[in-house]
């Protein structure tokens, strides 16, 4: 079996860069070097994830707003993605599921961001974009989470190539 994304978390690097040191990524986890509050002047938040061949893979990711309850089988992560922002119209939270058979496992995550008025950055080939701007409800850059699923044509746990994705 290949290596799937098996866990996802949002780490607060620091609320005040002058007084607090940055976080330490847990051993074996990968972090995406994009502040999820880019341009919103909030807490410095980073997406981290773990890959494994031994644990149940993540099969779905979505964004929840305010006090929205996660759908059956989803686990809501506790960090508000708009934490500490000056404009905070709503709270946003990621939720993940590991439901078997719901969808093919996720094998990679990335974050795209651009400034208002800039041209939108589309997802990389084969990636799917979570539809909600992670800075929605706060002023700041557009920040989107993209994920790549294993494909039916690719070996288990392998990312798709453009040819496999379109096959």
| Local mean pLDDT, 10-residue blocks, the chain (167 residues) | 87 65 76 90 92 92 96 96 88 95 92 90 96 92 96 54 35
pLDDT of residue 122: 95
**DSSP code, position 138:** S
The confidence score (pLDDT) of residue 97 equals 96
Q: Which residue has the tokens 């290596």?
A: 3
CA distance to 25, 130, 150, 158, per residue, from 122 (Å): 28, 12, 20, 22
Hey, what's the torsion of the CAs at 94, 145, 52, 13, to 10 degrees? -70
- At residue 20, the pLDDT reads 52
> How many domains are contained in the chain?
1
Here the tokens at position 4 are 């799937």
β-strand pairing of 106-114 with 74-76:
unpaired
pLDDT score for 102: 77
Which of 159, 102, 162, 95 lies closest to 130 in space, CA to CA?
95
Beta partners for 111?
A: 145
pTM of this structure: 0.84
Neighbours of 95 (CB within 10 A): 19
Residue 145's DSSP bridge partners are 111
**CATH code, domain carrying 38:** 2.100.10.50
Question: What pLDDT, on the 0 to 100 scale, is given for residue 22?
Answer: 58
Range of the domain at 127: 4-165
Biggest alpha carbon–alpha carbon distance for the chain: 52
Residue 101 confidence (pLDDT): 81
CA distance 157 to 106: 8
What Å distances lie between residue 20 and 13, 106, 128, CA to CA? Answer: 8, 33, 35
């Amino acid at each position: 079996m290949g290596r799937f994304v098996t866990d996802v978390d949002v780490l607060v690097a620091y609320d005040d860069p002058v007084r607090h040191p940055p976080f330490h990524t847990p051993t074996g986890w990968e972090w995406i070097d994009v502040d999820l509050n880019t341009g919103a002047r909030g807490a410095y938040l980073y997406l981290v994830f773990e890959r494994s061949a031994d644990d149940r893979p993540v099969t779905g990711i979505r964004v929840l707003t305010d006090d929205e309850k996660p759908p059956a089988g989803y686990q809501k992560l506790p960090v508000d993605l708009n934490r500490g922002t000056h404009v905070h119209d709503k709270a946003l939270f990621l939720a993940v599921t590991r439901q078997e058979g719901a969808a093919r496992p996720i094998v990679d995550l990335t974050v795209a961001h651009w400034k208002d008025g800039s041209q939108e950055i589309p997802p990389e080939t084969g990636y799917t974009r979570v539809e909600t701007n992670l800075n929605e409800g706060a002023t700041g850059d557009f920040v989107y989470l993209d994920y790549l699923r294993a494909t039916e044509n690719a070996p288990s746990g392998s990312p798709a190539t453009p040819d496999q994705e379109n096959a």
